[in-house]
Amino acid sequence: MSLPVHLVPTLDGVSVGATVTVEGDEAHHAVAVRRTRVGERVVLTDGRGRSVTGSVAATGKRLLSVVAEAVDDLPAPTPSLVVVQALPKGDRGELAVEVLTEVGVDAVVPWAAGRSVAVWKGERATKSLARWRATAREAAKQSRRSWHPSVADLASTADVVGLVAAADLAVVLHEDAGAPLAAVEVPPSGTVLVVVGPEGGLTDEEVAAFVDAGAVSVRLGAEVLRTSTAGVVACAALLSRTARWGP
């Protein structure tokens, strides 16, 4: 059984034998919710590739001390996988972030698409973005990731055009596209960008802007997927043709 994982702000300078202190909400979750006790083994990660495996030396109401038994540094995954996710309605945004994190996406960019039903403005935008980031954080711990994904600020269509132009490969999921995703050649390194539209679909202007910036318009298959699940399906198909999921 995998060891529980807890996120800490930094593991810089930590070596075998050192004591790492976890404080605040993360420690409270470990001690009060998970009932972690002295002597149990856990994994600590900074979400940037470094992880520490060790035994719990002490616990408190909002404190957990762990003695490092092993320190591991993993390189950042390559190619980097970025998903531009149009804002879905209801709680489907958090669902999308959760499954994208679990499959290994490195960054999620919330996008205010032209046909997005959900609108992020003012306090709602702040709270919604916080929920997406919290969902990514918890999903990354659940899936035992050493590198945690980032969740960017809300992007406009112009912002997405810039991301498309900068990517080594950019694909736009579109049910009317002529080319299947399976026909796209995935680069071994760099950045792979996937654009997922909203429930109402992409506008012709959005598709044209992304294709003009260098994206490839592709379809997944005959079935039409929900916006909250299309991204994870596309990412799995792409990852299966990279060294990240290969030998």
Complete domains list, the chain, with CATH: 5-73 (2.40.240.20), 80-239 (3.40.1280.10)
Q: What's the mean pLDDT in 87-93?
A: 92
Q: Does pLDDT of 247 surpass 80? A: no
Q: Does pLDDT of 127 surpass 70? A: yes
Alpha carbon 42 to its chain's center: 22
Nearest Cα to Cα of residue 68 among 82, 80, 56 = 56
pLDDT, tens digit, for every residue of 2-14? 899 999 999 999 9
**pLDDT of amino acid 1:** 67
**pLDDT of amino acid 222:** 82
The residue type found at 138 is: E
**pLDDT of amino acid 246:** 79
Q: Provide the pLDDT confidence category of residue 236 given band limits of 50, 70 and 90.
A: very high
Three-state SS for 183?
helix
pTM for the structure as a whole: 0.93
pLDDT, tens digit, for every residue of 137-148? 999 999 999 999
pLDDT, tens digit, for every residue of 172-209? 999 888 899 999 999 999 999 999 999 989 999 999 99
Q: How far apart are CA 191 and CA 193, in angstroms?
A: 6
pLDDT, tens digit, for every residue of 45-86? 999 999 999 999 999 989 999 999 999 999 999 999 999 999
The residue type found at 125 is: A
Q: Residue for token digits 């792979």?
A: 192
Q: What's the mean pLDDT in 16-31?
A: 93
Phi, psi of 175 (to 5 degrees): -65, -25
Phi, psi of 36 (to 5 degrees): -65, 135
pLDDT, tens digit, for every residue of 145-165? 999 999 999 999 999 999 999
Q: Cis link prior to 79 (omega < 30° from 0)? A: yes
Using a pLDDT cut of 70, give the percent of the chain over it.
99
